[in-house]
């Protein structure tokens, strides 16, 4: 049986930390699907389609595009995982404080769908404090995000922030 995993998240936008987890994930699973959650309650800066495009273009930049599929979903994660026939949910753990939230989610997902395993991976140390919200904040104030995201995402962030600032 093909061992397929879903790597779900908001990815608003995708960072080099997320891509580090993708690289590790494809070493373990035969198929990896990126599941971009619509997540309206987080009020994402980028639309679902923009987040998908940024993930795909970032995968291309890193030579990973042929190894991963990018999909979007707007349902319960376990339902999406079931539809995809995934055996695992992949999540990244950066620092200990991530554990609280991630353990809660994993145990709820296990109650809803006991057949699925949540697998946690640790990124490289340099990404341990990196998050999409930090990247958005730096970009908003005109800082350099080139060491945190791909060139495509850097460009999209500049365009988006310029549009927001132009509108106020
Ligand atoms: P969510 O809204 O589901 O938390 P995120 O896009 O913030 O979505 O994160 C998706 C997953 O990637 C989560 O498991 C998160 O812990 C993980 N992640 C986020 N940033 C990093 C990083 N720098 N290194 C490793 N994993 C990360």
- Rounded to whole angstroms, the Cα distance separating 119 from 131 reads 19
- In Å, how far from its chain's centre is CA 168? 29
pLDDT digits (tens, 9 = 90+) for 37-66: 999 999 999 999 999 999 999 999 999 999
Q: Among the atoms of ligand 1, which is closest to the Cα of residue 14?
A: 6
Question: What are the domain boundaries of the chain?
Answer: 4-167
Residue 51 annotated in active site: no
**Any residues with Cβ below 6 Å from ligand 1, and which?**
9-11, 15, 17-18, 20-21, 91-92, 94, 98, 123, 127, 130-132
Q: Catalytic annotation on 18? A: yes
**Confidence band, pLDDT 50/70/90 cuts, at residue 79:** very high
Number of helices (H), then strands (E), in the chain:
6, 5
Name which residue sits closest to atom 27 of ligand 1, judged by CA.
92
Residues 6+ away with beta carbon under 8 Å from 67: 26, 32, 59
Whether 118 and 7 have beta carbons less than 8 Å apart is answered as no
- Do residues 34 and 114 make contact, with C-beta atoms less than 8 angstroms apart? no
Q: Which of 91, 132, 136, 156 is catalytic?
A: 132
This prediction has a pTM of: 0.96
Q: Tell me, what's the pLDDT at 168?
A: 65
For 4-167, CATH number out of 3.40.50.620, 1.20.120.1770, 3.40.190.10, 3.20.20.150 equals 3.40.50.620
- The mean predicted confidence, pLDDT, of the chain is 96
- How far is ligand 1, taken at its centre, from the CA of residue 15, in Å? 9
Atom of ligand 1 nearest to the CA of 16: 23
Residue 96 CA, distance from chain mean position = 19
pLDDT given for residue 119 in this prediction: 97
User: Does position 99 have pLDDT exceeding 70, yes or no?
Assistant: yes
Give the residue from 62, 48, 53, 47 showing the smallest Cα distance to 17: 62
With cut-offs at 50, 70 and 90, classify the pLDDT of residue 1: confident
3-state secondary structure at position 68: strand
Q: Which of 32, 77, 124, 131 to mutate to test the pocket of ligand 1 (most atoms within 8 A of CB)?
A: 131
* pLDDT above 80 for 117: yes
| DSSP per-residue letters across 4-49 | EEEEEE--TT--HHHHHHHHHHHHH-SEEEEEEE--GGG--SS-HH
């Amino acid at each position: 049986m093909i061992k397929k995993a879903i790597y779900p998240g908001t990815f608003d936008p995708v960072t080099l930390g997320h891509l580090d987890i993708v690289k590790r994930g494809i070493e373990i699973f035969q198929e990896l699907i990126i599941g971009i959650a619509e997540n309206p309650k987080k009020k994402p800066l980028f639309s679902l389609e923009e987040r998908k495009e940024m993930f795909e273009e970032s995968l291309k930049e890193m030579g990973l595009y042929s190894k991963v599929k990018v999909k979007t979903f707007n349902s319960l994660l376990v339902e999406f995982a079931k539809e995809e026939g995934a055996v695992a949910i992949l999540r990244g753990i950066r620092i200990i404080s991530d554990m609280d939230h991630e353990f809660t989610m994993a145990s709820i997902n296990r109650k809803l769908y006991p057949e699925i395993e949540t697998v946690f991976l640790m990124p490289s140390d340099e990404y341990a404090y990196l998050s999409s919200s930090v990247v958005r904040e730096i970009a908003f104030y005109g800082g350099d995000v080139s060491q945190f995201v791909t060139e495509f995402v850097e460009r999209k962030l500049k365009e988006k922030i310029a549009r927001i600032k132009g509108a106020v």
